[in-house]
Amino acid sequence: MHGTIPRRISLIGFMGSGKTTVARLLGLKIGYKYIDLDSLIEQRAGRPVREIFKVEGEKIFRTYESQALMTLQEQNDIVISTGGGAPIQENNRRFFTDLSFTVFLYVSFDEMLKRTFAGKKSRDLRPLLQQPVKDIENLYRQRLPVYESLGVKVITDNATPLEICDEIAFLAGL
C-alpha cells in the first residue's frame, strides 16, 4: 500500500483505545464511509454482539466477525473500526496486512481500565471485561504483539481523538 492513497483504513487495538470514536471522526475528516465491524456483525446476525457471545459463544462470534470483515475487501474509501479480537484471528491477518492501511491504536493498560470501566455497572461492561482484572491484563499482553505486527502504531494516551485523526491522515498520506 506504500506510495498510493489507501482505499481502506482499518483501526485495530485493545478495548478502550478509541477505535470507534477515531474511525468515525477520521471518516468525516477524509470523506470516507465509516464502518463499525461490530455493527456490521449485528446487522448480518440480526442480534446484538452481547447476545451472540452469551448464546452462541465467542467461537461463533469470531466466525461472524471474519465473515463480516471479508465482505469489506472489495469496498473502497472506508474507515473500519474493528473489534479488539478481529486481528488476533490468523485468517483475518491478510486483510490487515495486504488489503488495508492498518493503524494500531495503542492504549496503556491503566488508561484502558479508566476508559472502559468509567461509570459503568458490571452488567453494562463488554463481555470480555466481565472477568478478573488479571485475566484482562493477560489478554491485553497477549494481543499487543499481534497488533504491533499488523499496523502502524499511534499512541492514544494523552491525545485527543482529533489529534489522533490528524496523525493517521498524515501517516496515510491523506
Sheet holding 8-12, edge to edge: 33-36, 78-81, 8-12, 101-106, 152-155
Distance set, CA 47 to CA 30, 54, 64 (Å): 31, 11, 12
Domain contains 64 = yes
Domain contains 52 = yes
What is the pTM assigned to this prediction?
Answer: 0.90
Domain contains 1 = no
pLDDT of 86 strictly over 60? yes
pLDDT above 70 covers a percentage of the chain that reads 90
Domain contains 3 = no
How many domains would you assign to the chain? 1
Binned at pLDDT 50, 70 and 90, residue 118 comes out as low
DSSP H/E element including 101: strand 101-106
Distance CA 147, CA 159 (A): 19
Of 41-50, 62-71, 124-133, the range with the lowest mean pLDDT is 124-133
The 3-state DSSP class for residue 4 equals coil
Cell representation of residue 174: 491523506
Q: Which domain holds residue 94?
A: 8-171
Question: What CATH number did the domain enclosing 79 receive?
Answer: 3.40.50.300
Domain contains 2 = no
Please state, rounded to an integer, the average pLDDT across all residues of the chain.
89
> CA 149, 155, 159 angle in degrees (round to 5)?
160
